[in-house]
Amino acid sequence: MALKNSPILGLQSFLLLVVMFMLPSLLFTKPNGEPFSFLENLQGSHQGQKLEGVCKLKRYLEKFGYLQYNDHSTHANDEEFDDQLESAVKVYQLNYGLNETGTLDSRTMEMMLRPRCGVPDIINGTTRMRSGKMKRHQPGPLSFHIAPQFAFFKRRQKWPYTLTKASLTYRFRSSVEVIDLQTLRPVIAQAFAKWAFVIPFTFSEAQESQTHWNITIGFHKLDHGDRHAFDGPGGILAHAFAPTIGWFHYDADENWSPNPNTNQIDLESIAAHEIGHVLGLEHSAIPEAVMYGLFSAGEQKRELHSDDILGIRTLYGLDR
């Protein structure tokens, strides 16, 4: 027997249509505001205080490798600025050449609020990133130099390599179209060329007929299936994975440009940095290095620093 029309069925149908219409926006809503803006309310905070937002600070430092509570800790999810958090802040300050106060002073806040690479500074509890401060090299009033600050992934992962040549291929695969390939191709080729100039690698785009390639480059939003979700505009700009995974992802929610103004992020500078990760380098503590993990809108850092060059050549055994 056919169902008769009823007000209840009509209302249910209407509500179902409303939910179906709203579902995409519910699933893909961007976070409100800048992802790191919560830090602004914590300036001056220190050990012993209880403040709203401290829990988010713990998540921030945990995300970038500075903090790891054990399973039995009572402070992992509370708002207390405890001893372990103070120690984590001090390590962050050490890595970025700041005074190691353990307090969220204005200089520390300035650094933490900057957009950055999503690759942690500390991986598996081990930091190979060190302060980029000037260090004494030999006796004498002018005998200072910048010590090497490059770092490798813990197991020194790298691509298979011989002393003759290594050839890696890449392909573009995005879930969101942000920059057309005609614009993106020369930018990426130029970034690869900077690394190819200092190590005997060749990098070329894979042909569409090829079923295997080494490096995948693309734009993605929020949770995009690699267990390292992006966070909307600001915050994390991009991330990449150690050899030989070969994934390099831009955050599609950023304001990207091949020729950035003061409100845009430079495509090539970020590509040069993430390619460094793809090849096996971690973050450097030298602000002028391509492998430095923090960025600013409008900044262009497309040329490899001597620290980047020494790091990649050391990793591949070229400076023995």
Which residues contact residue 39 at a Cβ distance below 8 angstroms, ignoring those fewer than 6 apart?
A: 53, 56, 57, 60, 104, 109, 112, 113
Q: Is 260 helix (H, G, I), strand (E, B) or coil?
A: coil
Which residues contact residue 112 at a Cβ distance below 8 angstroms, ignoring those fewer than 6 apart?
A: 36, 39, 60, 92, 104
Task: Indicate the residue type of 41.
Answer: N
Q: Check the annotation: does 308 bind a ligand.
A: no
Q: Is the distance from CB of 289 to CB of 305 less than 8 angstroms?
A: yes
Q: Check the annotation: does 283 bind a ligand.
A: yes
* CA–CA distance, 236 with 178 (Å, rounded to integer): 17
Q: Check the annotation: does 231 bind a ligand.
A: yes
Q: Is the distance from CB of 127 to CB of 139 less than 8 angstroms?
A: no
Q: Check the annotation: does 249 bind a ligand.
A: yes
Helices (H), 103-202: 106-112, 181-196
Q: Check the annotation: does 117 bind a ligand.
A: yes
Give the containing element (helix H, strand E) for 169: strand 166-172
Q: Is the distance from CB of 157 to CB of 148 less than 8 angstroms?
A: no
Residue 193: closest CA among 319, 303, 283: 303
Q: Check the annotation: does 137 bind a ligand.
A: no
Say which of 274, 282, 288, 303 is annotated catalytic. 274
Tallying the residues shown for the chain, one arrives at: 320
Q: Is 62 a catalytic residue?
A: no
* CA–CA distance, 171 with 24 (Å, rounded to integer): 29
Residue 50: closest CA among 78, 75, 84, 80: 80
Q: Check the annotation: does 277 bind a ligand.
A: yes
Locate the DSSP E strands across 34-138: 116-117, 135-136
Q: Is the peptide bond before 127 cis (omega within 30 degrees of 0)?
A: no
User: In what order do the strands lie in the sheet containing 236-240?
Assistant: 116-117, 236-240, 247-251, 215-220, 166-172, 201-205
The tokens describing 281, both together, are 């380098």
Q: Check the annotation: does 55 bind a ligand.
A: no
Catalytic residues: 274
Binding residues for Zn(2+): 117, 224, 226, 239, 249, 273, 277, 283, 291
Residues annotated in a binding site = 117, 224, 226, 231-232, 239, 249, 251, 254, 273, 277, 283, 291
In the annotated binding site for Ca(2+), the residues are 231-232, 251, 254
